[in-house]
Amino acid sequence: MTVKAFGLGSFITALISWGILFLIINWIDPTKSAAAAFILFFLTLFLAVAATAGLIGYIARTIFMRHQLPAYRVRPSLRQGVFLGVFVDLLLFLQLERILVWWVSAIIVLLFIVIELVFTSYDRHGATTRGSTEASQ
């Protein structure tokens, strides 16, 4: 995936998802709707948040990490956007079921931080390992 395709695809996905989410909120009555309406709501919310957060993350990386190649900014931005989308959906679902409390939220935040640290350390280790083996050959 090129950087231009990522940017354009994320922008179009965010616009369409936010539009559909707005329509769902305005047209569907949650007291009378079936489970399909909730699934559609959570799916479009996930897509909207993930695409928007991915774009914002890429723009922030472009501003603050100028030394990094543009292609290497896409992967963590998209991953963190997906994490944020899952996080928002999970918290809203727990609130819908009336089981969201502060300590559950804290555990979920810690879980996502640990997962991100694993990915970050893997990326750093993989980059240094690949670079040293390619240089030695």
Residue 47: its pLDDT value, please?
A: 97
Whether residue 110 sits in one domain with residue 80:
no
Q: What tokens were used for 119?
A: 């990915």
**Are 75 and 122 in the same domain?**
no
pLDDT single digits (tens) 8-30: 999 999 999 999 999 999 998 87
| Amino acid 31: pLDDT | 77
Entry pTM: 0.84
Query: Residue 127 has what pLDDT?
Result: 54
Contact 55, 10 (CB under 8 A): yes
Domain membership of residue 64 as a residue range: 3-85
- Residue 110 has a pLDDT of 97
pLDDT tens across 100-116, in order?
Answer: 999 999 999 999 999 99
Number of domains in the chain: 2
Write out residues in the chain with pLDDT < 70, as ranges: 125-137
Residue 131 placed within a domain:
yes
Residue 90, in any domain of the structure: no
Please check whether residue 112 lies inside any domain of the structure: yes
